[in-house]
Amino acid sequence: MADMRVNLAGVELKNPVTVASGTFGFGREYSEFFDISKLGGISVKGLTPLPRQGNPAPRIAETPMGMLNSVGLQNPGVDAFIAHELPWLKAQGTVIIANISGSTPEEYGEMCEKLSAAGVDMIEVNISCPNVKAGGLAYGTRPELAAEVTTVAKAHAAVPVMVKLSPNVTDITEITKAVEGAGADAISLINTLRGMVIDVKTRRPILKMNTGGLSGPAVLPIAVRMVWEVHNAVKLPILGMGGVSSGSDAAQLMLAGAAAVAVGAATFADPMAPIRVLEELGELCDSQGLSSVTQLTGAVQPW
């Protein structure tokens, strides 16, 4: 059998299959379905400095090949996470990645300090949220703002910092290079694509916030393309995500350049999806005679 261990910015994962932030909560619900220690890692639900109730309902809409969400970062706040969720998570035997979102660079810095001291293994900095100081523009859409947040996060974090990129940009490599130059240890991509669904009978958007983030199988080809572009543009390790629901999906992202992958929306339709993806990926490696799953990373052969 192939060796399934991978290294992500100095953090060893027992295998390359993790679960994406926002889809797995803090793991308690899914632990009723399977032993979550089998996962390479867990990226927890996005955390903010203070508790957030999220956006008003309806905030989920199905699409033919995925779903739209405008949940709005509902979470108990970083302090409550550290006090009530992290102790349980740390006992589960897998890598813990804390996903954070802030409105100012200072908020990112404060959360990095708290979470590093609390003992998470890695921090995933979500730069796809509004920047109050920049008039509502997302950090992830301008290189200089992405670099600013990365610099502050790195200055306050005692663990590796992974920056989660938005796909809602003209050139993702431009943002990636800025983040690399600011000292990021790794990159995760893609976040959701902005979309909209309209009820033709009522003529109203189905989501209360009008638009939301598209995830699911429909976004996989975009994720593969962006991972490939980023892999060819920078030297940073990549956590690839977006539409993964099978072992071959995971292999596509790894061939494009990802060191590890995250399963997200697929867990809503099938709570066992991460375990199935892992098993299928292992079988794929064995069928190709690979001694290590790392042999997949960046091994695509373009025409």
Kindly give the pairing relationship between strand 6-8 and strand 11-13.
Answer: antiparallel
* Active site (annotated) includes residue 129: yes
What would the two tokens of residue 219 be?
């976004």
List the beta strands (DSSP E) in the chain: 6-8, 11-13, 17-19, 41-43, 60-63, 66-69, 95-100, 122-126, 161-164, 186-189, 193-195, 198-199, 204-205, 212-215, 238-241, 260-263
DSSP string, 48-109: -SS-B--PPSP-EEEETTEEEE-----B--HHHIIIIIHHHHHTSSSEEEEEE--SSHHHHH
Find residue 12's DSSP bridge partners.
Answer: 7
Catalytic residue, chosen from 129, 219, 253, 278, is 129
How many other β-carbons are positioned within 10 Å of the β-carbon of residue 208?
14
Residue 165: DSSP 8-state:
P
The answer for residues whose C-beta is within 8 angstroms of residue 96's C-beta and 6 or more apart is 41, 42, 44, 86, 89, 90, 120, 121, 122
Find residue 69's DSSP bridge partners.
Answer: 60, 213
Cis amide prior to 58 (ω within 30 degrees) = yes
Find residue 6's DSSP bridge partners.
Answer: 13
Of 232, 78, 114, 98, nearest to 160 by C-alpha is 98
d(CA 161, CA 29): 27
Active site residues: 129
